[in-house]
Amino acid sequence: MDAELFEKMGIFYLGRDLEPKTLRPTKIPTLVKSKNFTTHAAVIGMTGSGKTGLGVDILEEAAIDNIPVIVIDPKGDMGDLCLTSEKLRAEDFLPWVEDEARQKGEEPLEYARKIAEMWREGIESWGQSSDRIARFKSHDATIYTPGSTAGVPVNVLGSLDAPDAATLEDPDALAQSINAVVSSLLALLGIDADPIQSREYILIAQILKRAWMAGEKVDIGTLISHIITLPFDKIGVLPLESFYPAAERFKLASSMNNLIASPSFESWLTGAPLDIDALMYDERQKAKISIFSIAHLSDEERMFFVTLLLSRIVEWMRRQSGTGRLRALLYMDEIYGYFPPSKNPPSKAPMMTLLKQARAFGVGVVLSTQNPVDLDYKGLGNIGTWFIGRLQTRQDIEKVIDGLAGKLDAELDRDEIVKTLSNLPKRTFFYKSAHEKGIRLFQTRWVLSYLKGPLKKRDIAKLTAAKKKPRTASLSHETPKSPAAQPNGKSRTPILSSDISQRFDLALSPGGLYRPHLAAAATVRYVNAARGIDESESLALCIPLDDTIDYPDWDEAEPCDKAFTQAPKKPTGDTAFAPLPGSVTQAKNFKAFQKALKDHLYTQKRLTLYRCRKLKAESKPHESLETFKNRLMEILEERLDAEKEKLQSRYAKKLQTLHERLVRAQQKLAKEQEDVGKATTGSLVDAGLAIFGALFGGKRSAASKLGQAMKGGSRVLKERADVQRAQARIDEIETQIDALKEELEEKLDELEEKYRLERYEIETFFIKPRRTDVDVEMPILYWRWEPVA
């Protein structure tokens, strides 16, 4: 019952405290408030000390408390979070242990049975029910594999989207975002670029910055075409041509193009975009577990990806409102190389920003490493909680203690700590937190997930098979093929009136085909003074004109990149032209096309918004329903947390009083008993006391002293009336305690129910543009190039 109680209170169950001197286990569960993780944690210990096990413990606890987690997994161990079985049957374990069984020359199913049994025993001996496993398993865990399609691929380069407005307005933040994208992109292309000196770096950074500021969408396709036909003609004070002549830019563009066309590169462009919002909750508002497995990548690729992911998290974080609760957890298993003290790899800047600023946004970072010297010294200062496991050498121990300097209470003896740390068995951690007085030693609880060790690509592929979404194409210059318009021989550029503007894609290789499109850029403005909304949406549409079309219809249009307005005015290369419908060859029709598009947009375009009247909240323009729901949920969780906290302190006082009475009653009983020596150690509800410790920090040591004071409860010598009376008194108080806990639990349940998102109706409504607020540019004839197979 106590277990159920702390499950409801935003507390992480990490293990059991050990007696500091003897390292013998006590009954006191190691409970840590989830909130404490907002000041970040470091896990340090030698190989095999149990860091990953502790990491898995923490992440399981987070998921159970509906806190989303993002995991960066350089070694491939963290995919184990997907290996959970509620029933703990041999069949469930079989696919995970088959290989190992064969290696050991054992019969697979028999081996699976042994392992499943071991896990059952482990889990149960730590007081964990299958209910708990089920609760954890109900959270979606996904293994993302950037640069590979073994797991869920991540489209990291398909979209080089601008960060949010806040980042754009802050020059430092903007510079950091640009730096992250450009340096990692160039690294991936094998160009070793110095941000100050390299032409490539400066050019690409300029293009990105300009596009971001202009609110244009950029992907790698548009980036390549911008490198050739630049939307500006000066870099600093230098004319572009002398800074970076066109012929050489063309070389850069085609080498980039060749690279992205290579099959191995394609996986960087496949899959879901790297959108942090989408990693938070699923459609049932259940926190997700997102594991980014990068073990299969080269060092450069890992650095590229980690930097990009961290920068995206920083940008996302800045968009969130401030909070005191733990909103999300970022865990990195094995930080070695990403956050070193004396060097400056690209990943360091965003990591430092996270450690310094994430607290205000409720984003906790947990870093794990074998060696204290892998962590930047300044970064260490921002870490509030330390888990120190077995260390290899005396030197390592000294370093850790130096790192902790100033965080340890004065009364603790350095030699004593050194001695303790030198003798730690595996799965045992020394715990020091800025949120608690004193130190603790504990053994990590048995993990719910099966710790198989590093997952191979094949394992990941198997686990992911069920989840994979269909591949999505992302390059803007990919055009759906229209079967009707195959060129029969080379046709020449159609001769049209000069009143019709035409634009031509760059032909990226000799030959190929130009397909005609009617394209136009437009702006739609949505104004709603009462809501303070004045939103302009700039968009571009184009209609593929194959020869089944006589007269273009905007209902057939598809969104396209606005970059066509910058494309060259003359065709390039030795390229054929697909035929053109007659209606588009007449300049006078273009005015009608323009008007038709205006009508089309006026009737079709809406700004969709959502509202929840009960919470007096409305979505912001362009906020998705999903994101809006997540925001509502956070409001609810915030209120829920506050109410829980009130409730808890109210009950804690009452419980404390009862506990004190219990102590007195037990002491009385001990006295009444003739043979005090025979009295066994009382069954004091240590767990209950530990909960207070976790809730109210400093009370912990008092609580454990209390625990030791409890002697009594002997079953001997019941005949004496005093003894019986004393015993009855104890029973009575224990019943009261149980009743009070039950009551608290019920109240907590009621609160949960009251704040469930489903109880809050969400409506959809729209804001229409005024006709005068639909602005359409004169449509043009846009020739899209494609290679001919």
Positions touching ligand ATP (CB under 6 A) are: 45, 47-53, 57, 122, 370, 427, 444, 446-447, 451, 453
Q: How far is CA 353 from the centre of its chain?
A: 16
Pairing verdict, β 533-544 and 558-559: antiparallel
If you search the block for the tokens 């035409």, which residue do you land on? 502
Shortest distance, CB of residue 387 to ligand ATP, whole angstroms?
11
Cβ-proximal residue to Mg ion, closest one = 52
Minimum CB distance to ligand ATP smaller for 123 or for 737: 123
Residue number with CB closer to ligand ATP (136 or 593):
136
Q: Are the C-beta atoms of residues 437 and 698 closer than 8 Å to each other? A: yes
- For residue 443, give the 3-state DSSP assignment: strand
Residue 451 binds: one of ligand ATP, Mg ion, none (C-beta under 5 to 8 A by kind): ligand ATP
Q: Identify what 498 binds: Mg ion, ligand ATP, none; CB under 5 to 8 Å per kind.
A: none
Closest by CA to 577, choosing from 519, 497, 505, is: 505
Separation between Cα atoms, residue 736 and residue 250, nearest integer Å: 81
| Residues in the chain, total | 789
Give the residue with the Cβ less far from ligand ATP, 45 or 707: 45
- Helices within 697-720 (DSSP H only): 699-709
C-alpha 109/C-alpha 261 separation (Å) is 45
Q: Shortest distance, CB of residue 417 to Mg ion, whole angstroms?
A: 24
> What residue 39 binds from ligand ATP, Mg ion, none (CB within 5 to 8 A, per partner kind)?
none
Shortest CB 334 distance to Mg ion, Å: 7
All residues at 6 or more sequence positions from 381 whose CB lies less than 8 Å from its CB, including other chains: none
Nearer to ligand ATP, 400 or 540 (CB): 400
504 binds, among ligand ATP, Mg ion, none (CB under 5 to 8 A by kind): none
Please give, one letter per residue, the 3-state secondary structure of 118-178.
HHHHHHHHCCCCHHHHHHHHCCCEEEECCCCCCCECEECCCCCCCCCHHHHHCHHHHHHHH
Task: Give me the residue label for tokens 């005191």.
Answer: 324
Choosing among Mg ion, ligand ATP, none, which partner's interface includes residue 50 (Cβ < 5 to 8 Å by kind)?
Answer: ligand ATP
| Number of chain positions touching Mg ion (CB under 5 A) | 2
Shortest Cβ distance from residue 334 to ligand ATP (Å)?
7
Cα of 679 vs its chain's centroid, Å: 53
Q: How far is the CB of 401 from ligand ATP (least distance, A)?
A: 19
Considering the complex, state which of residue 323 and residue 443 has its C-beta at the smaller distance from ligand ATP: 443
Nearer to Mg ion, 311 or 368 (CB): 368
Q: Which of 502, 526, 529 is nearest to 514 (CA)?
A: 502
Dihedral, CA atoms, 186, 189, 193, 198, nearest 10 degrees? -90
How remote is the C-alpha of 226 from its chain's centroid?
A: 32
Give the nearer residue to ligand ATP in terms of CB position, either 340 or 568. Answer: 340
User: Measured from the CB of residue 368, what is the shortest distance to Mg ion in angstroms?
Assistant: 7
> Look-up: residue for tokens 């009862």?
658
Minimum CB distance to Mg ion, residue 46 (Å): 10
Q: Write the DSSP symbol of residue 573.
A: S
* Cα–Cα dist 691/11, whole Å: 9
What is the residue whose two structure tokens read 């070193």?
A: 340
Decide which of Mg ion, ligand ATP, none touches 53; Cβ closer than 5 to 8 Å per partner kind.
Answer: ligand ATP
Partner from ligand ATP, Mg ion, none binding residue 57, C-beta < 5-8 Å depending on class: ligand ATP
Exposed e or buried b for every residue in 386-403, given b needs 16+ CB within 10 A? bbbbbbeeeebbebbbeb
Provide the minimum distance between the beta carbon of 458 and ligand ATP in the complex, in angstroms, as a whole number. 20
8-state DSSP, 496: -
Show the beta-strand stretches assigned E in 661-707. none
CB nearer to ligand ATP: give 52 or 502.
52
How many C-beta atoms surround the C-beta of residue 336 within 10 A? 16
61 binds, among ligand ATP, Mg ion, none (CB under 5 to 8 A by kind): none
Cβ 427 to ligand ATP shortest distance, Å: 5
Residue number closest to ligand ATP, CB atom: 53
Residue with tokens 């057939």: 556
Do 634 and 323 meet the contact criterion of CB atoms below 8 Å apart? yes
Q: How far apart are CB 414 and ligand ATP at their closest, in Å?
A: 25
Q: In this complex, which beta carbon is closest to Mg ion, that of residue 78 or of residue 154?
A: 78
Which phi and psi angles does 600 have, rounded to 5°? -60, -50
Rg (CA), the chain: 32
Distance, CA of 639 to CA of 617 (rounded, Å): 14
* Torsion-angle region of 337 (φ positive above 0: left; ψ -120 to 50: alpha; else: beta): left
79's contact among Mg ion, ligand ATP, none, with CB below 5 to 8 A by partner kind, is none
- Which region, judged by CB under 5 A, interacts with Mg ion, from 51-59, 134-142, 509-517, 748-756? 51-59
Q: Which stretch binds Mg ion (CB under 5 A): 37-45, 49-57, 573-581, 661-669?
A: 49-57
C-beta of 397 vs 757, nearer to ligand ATP: 397
Q: 51 vs 249, which CB is nearer to Mg ion?
A: 51
370 is in the binding site of which of Mg ion, ligand ATP, none (Cβ under 5 to 8 A by kind)?
A: ligand ATP
Which residue number, 51 or 302, has a Cβ lying nearer to ligand ATP? Answer: 51
For 496, other C-beta atoms within 10 Å of its C-beta total: 15
Q: Which residue number, 55 or 552, has a Cβ lying nearer to ligand ATP?
A: 55
Among 34, 38, 52, 222, binds Mg ion (CB under 5 A): 52
Residue 68 interacts, among Mg ion, ligand ATP, none and using kind-specific CB cut-offs from 5 to 8 Å, with none
Distance CA 605, CA 768 (A): 7
Q: What is the DSSP letter of 470?
A: P
Smallest separation, CB 43 to Mg ion (Å): 9
How many Å apart are CA 659 and CA 778, to the nearest integer? 80
Q: Where are the alpha helices (DSSP H) in 501-610?
A: 589-604
Smallest gap from residue 143 Cβ to ligand ATP (A): 18
DSSP type of residue 337: T
Least distance in Å: CB of 371 to Mg ion?
A: 13
Closest distance to ligand ATP from the beta carbon of 299 (Å):
18
Q: Which does 659 bind (CB under 5 to 8 A by kind): Mg ion, ligand ATP, none?
A: none
List the structure tokens of 619. 């979505």
Task: Give dist(CA 109, CA 99) in Å, integer.
Answer: 11
For residue 215, the partner it binds in Mg ion, ligand ATP, none, with Cβ less than 5 to 8 A by kind, is none
79/163 with CB nearer ligand ATP: 79
Strand, helix or coil for residue 366:
strand
3-state secondary structure of 1: coil
The count of other CB atoms within 10 Å of the CB of residue 77 is: 24
Task: Indicate which of Mg ion, ligand ATP, none lies near residue 191 (CB less than 5 to 8 Å, by partner kind).
Answer: none
Of 51 and 515, which has the nearer Cβ to Mg ion?
A: 51
The minimum distance between CB 49 and Mg ion, in angstroms, equals: 9
| Residue 49 interacts with which of ligand ATP, Mg ion, none, CB < 5 to 8 Å by class | ligand ATP
**Which residues here bind Mg ion, judged by CB under 5 A?**
51-52
